[in-house]
Structure 1
Amino acid sequence: MKLLDMSYGRTTYQVTLHSSPLFEAALGIAAATYDKIHPTLEKPREYWLAMIDALPPDVKTELDYAKRHNTWKTLLQLLHNGPFPDPDAFLSYLEGLSEQQLRLEALPYLGSERQEARHRSSTGDRQAVEELLQACAGHNFFPAYITHVSEVDASDLRRHLLTLFQGWYGIHVRPREAELRSLLARDCDQKRAMLQKLSPEALVEWATGRKYPPEPSVGRVLLVPHTLYRPWTIQADAPGTKVFYYPVADENMAEQIDPYRPPQLLVQAYKALGDEHRLRIARLLAERAHSLQELTERMDMAKSTLHHHLSMLRSARLIEMEASKYQLRRTSVDQLSLFLSEYLDKDCCR
């Protein structure tokens, strides 16, 4: 069958960035209530225990409630209705929501085709709630979360969110609010400066460490930097928008920025390529994807040694695995000269 293609073609998305200590507070609550992830975070478990212990009793009670019902998700979704200049503006917005609107904003976005069910669920329509539950049946926590949001008294949910956010922000964010604003804004500025030099897909991959190809229903990608959930990138959905809460780059984490300190990823990349064996691996993967066994045979080395080389290349984001095979991240390799030039040509270094 013949096809006459009169479509415009596949378009990409627009990237926007937003930094705010308000997101840092909500993500801090999320991390504090997720015990299983603590061993993988940069901050040790003792840090999180101390954060919890520093809270007043009433806020601890609400944090435990958030741990049982994942209501940090509600806070994040509400924050996307900003931007809010400060916590008072956000809390005032939360207080002014009607009960039905609060439920609607709390319910997760499950795609445009389920927006009607989402709206009906916020009014107490049990059939609509069941539709949402079926749509996310395999999700880690959405079914229990949706059930709770649809059943809890909205006034109790509002009180819980107000007490939890105000308490956490006052204890853990406000004392270093100015420092956080500066740090988060600095990382956003770094990414914005590259908007004219990288494609939207390349910028998202650079910031998050993950590829995100365009989707027909997503016209915007929102990038929100964070410090507390490092090294994780958290992905979420909103109407027409994909949200990535991404970790602030290593070079932007210091209180005093050394303009001569190179970005950690740049150092890792050149270290990874500064070895004959790893360059040979990159050359092989530039031709085609290889399995571990194929690389072992081609490189003629022990698997343990090969694993070491592959680990360095993966840490530098130069290679990746797909369908049990290693492949070169060609975009990352092609960008190395750009990032090196950006570092060498910084105005502050002249």
Structure 2
Amino acid sequence: MKILDMSFGRNSYHVSFYSSPLFEGALGIAAATYDEIHPTLEKPREYWQMMIEALPDRVQAELLYAKRHNTWKTLLQLLHTHPFPDLEAFLSFLENLPDQQLLYEALPCLGQEREEARRRAVEGDAAAVEELLAACSAHKFFPAYLSYLCQLDMGVLRRHLITLFQGWYTLHVMPREDELRRLLQRDCDQKSGMREKLSPEALVEWALGGAAYPPEPSISRVLLIPHTLYRPWTIQADAKGTKIFYYPVADENMAEEIDPYQPPLRLIQLYKAVGDEHRLRIIKFLTERAHSLQELTERMEMAKSTLHHHLSMLRSAQVIEMNGTRYQLRPHVLGQLPLFLDDYLGRG
């Protein structure tokens, strides 16, 4: 069959950055209610227990409610409706949001093809609710979260969210609000400063520490939001036409006082990876074609254990990757080396 393709395929997406201490509040609540992830976070388990116990009893009760029903998700989705300047503006918005609009904003976005069902579910259409439930049946908590929302009095949800967020934010974010605002904005500025030098895909990959996000037909925008509390994790979410990544602030931007002579960790990793005769030979081989481990062992004439060490360093720096059982070069990463160096030296 011959096909003349006249469809529109999206070649890329637009990348936006946004930062606000308000997201630190919502992500802090999310982390505090997710016991299983505590061993993997930079902050130890004891830190989260201390944060919880410091809350007034009524706020602790709402936090437990959020843990049962994952209402931190609601907070995050509401924060995406407007660029709120401060806590007061967000709470005022939440207080005055009509019930149907509150439910609509709280329901998870399940793709453009489910938007009509999302709107009908808000109006109480049982068939639409079932459609949404079927669409997210494989998700870890969306089915229970969606069912809970569609049966809930919005007045109850509103009071819960206001009490929880106001209590958490006032105690745990507001004392550091100005510092956090500067820190988060600094990371946004660093990343967006490379916007003209990197493709959208390369910019996202760099910001996410090596996680690639290829374009999707239904996604026209990628929104990158830095965070500190959920480090080292990147959290992925969806909005209409938008893929959202809450990504960890870079190590070099975590301190209040930045040393302008401290090179970024990414730059150090890349130069360490290529600053070795053996690893440069491996890169040279991989410019020709992908190689299996056995092929590289034979060409490099070295023990597999030694070769593994070199390959691990190149993979950690994202210079190479696995494609099935073969190693292949990621040439665009090597092309970024002079860009990152010029940025560090102030020659960008």
TM over 0.5: yes
Q: Deviations over 1:58-98 (max 9, x none)?
A: 11111111111111111110000010000110111111111
Q: Deviations over 1:179-208 (max 9, x none)?
A: 000000011111121111111111111101
Structure 2 residue aligned with 1:113: 113
Structure 2 residue aligned with 1:45: 45
Alpha-carbon distance between aligned partners in 1 of 2:141 and 2:292, rounded to the nearest angstrom: 35
82-91 or 317-326, which deviates more: 317-326
176-185 or 36-45, which deviates more: 36-45
Alpha-carbon distance between aligned partners in 2 of 1:191 and 1:276, rounded to the nearest angstrom: 31
Q: What SS does the corresponding residue of 2:90 show, helix, strand or coil? A: helix
Displacement of 1:277 in angstroms is: 2.8
**Residues 177-188 of structure 1 mapped to structure 2, 5 A cutoff:** 177-188=177-188
Structure 2 residue aligned with 1:225: 226
Alpha-carbon distance between aligned partners in 1 of 2:64 and 2:347, rounded to the nearest angstrom: 47
Question: Tell me, which stretches of 5 or more residues in structure 2 are unaligned?
Answer: none
Normalization by structure 2: what TM-score? Answer: 0.94
Displacement of 1:306 in angstroms is: 3.5
Question: Tell me, which stretches of 5 or more residues in structure 1 are unaligned?
Answer: none
Q: What SS does the corresponding residue of 1:12 show, helix, strand or coil? A: coil
Alpha-carbon distance between aligned partners in 1 of 2:331 and 2:78, rounded to the nearest angstrom: 38
Structure 2 residue aligned with 1:68: 68
Alpha-carbon distance between aligned partners in 1 of 2:31 and 2:322, rounded to the nearest angstrom: 28
Q: What SS does the corresponding residue of 1:137 show, helix, strand or coil? A: coil
**Residues 135-150 of structure 1 mapped to structure 2, 5 A cutoff:** 135-150=135-150
Structure 2 residue aligned with 1:27: 27
14-23 or 41-50, which deviates more: 41-50
Structure 2 residue aligned with 1:275: 276
Alpha-carbon distance change, 280 to 203 in structure 1, aligned in 2, over 3 angstroms: same
Alpha-carbon distance between aligned partners in 1 of 2:138 and 2:292, rounded to the nearest angstrom: 31
Q: Deviations over 1:236-266 (max 9, x none)?
A: 1100111111111111111100000100011
Displacement of 1:12 in angstroms is: 1.6
Alpha-carbon distance between aligned partners in 1 of 2:147 and 2:294, rounded to the nearest angstrom: 47
Alpha-carbon distance between aligned partners in 2 of 1:119 and 1:314, rounded to the nearest angstrom: 45
Alpha-carbon distance change, 136 to 8 in structure 1, aligned in 2, over 3 angstroms: closer
**Residues 236-255 of structure 1 mapped to structure 2, 5 A cutoff:** 236-255=237-256
118-127 or 262-271, which deviates more: 118-127
Alpha-carbon distance change, 284 to 84 in structure 1, aligned in 2, over 3 angstroms: same
Q: What SS does the corresponding residue of 1:244 show, helix, strand or coil? A: strand
**Percent pairwise identity:** 71
Structure 1 residue aligned with 2:308: 307
State the Cα RMSD in Å: 1.9
Task: Write the letter of the residue equivalent to 1:235.
Answer: Q
Alpha-carbon distance between aligned partners in 2 of 1:290 and 1:151, rounded to the nearest angstrom: 56
Q: What SS does the corresponding residue of 2:110 show, helix, strand or coil? A: coil
Instruction: Note if 1:201 corresponds to 2:182.
Output: no
Displacement of 1:311 in angstroms is: 2.7
Normalization by structure 1: what TM-score? Answer: 0.93
Alpha-carbon distance between aligned partners in 2 of 1:168 and 1:50, rounded to the nearest angstrom: 13
Alpha-carbon distance between aligned partners in 2 of 1:116 and 1:180, rounded to the nearest angstrom: 38
Alpha-carbon distance change, 282 to 41 in structure 1, aligned in 2, over 3 angstroms: farther
Q: Deviations over 1:94-124 (max 9, x none)?
A: 1111111111111100011111111111222
Instruction: Note if 1:189 corresponds to 2:175.
Output: no
Alpha-carbon distance change, 159 to 197 in structure 1, aligned in 2, over 3 angstroms: same
Alpha-carbon distance between aligned partners in 1 of 2:307 and 2:36, rounded to the nearest angstrom: 31
Alpha-carbon distance between aligned partners in 2 of 1:301 and 1:148, rounded to the nearest angstrom: 59
Task: Write the letter of the residue equivalent to 1:56.
Answer: P
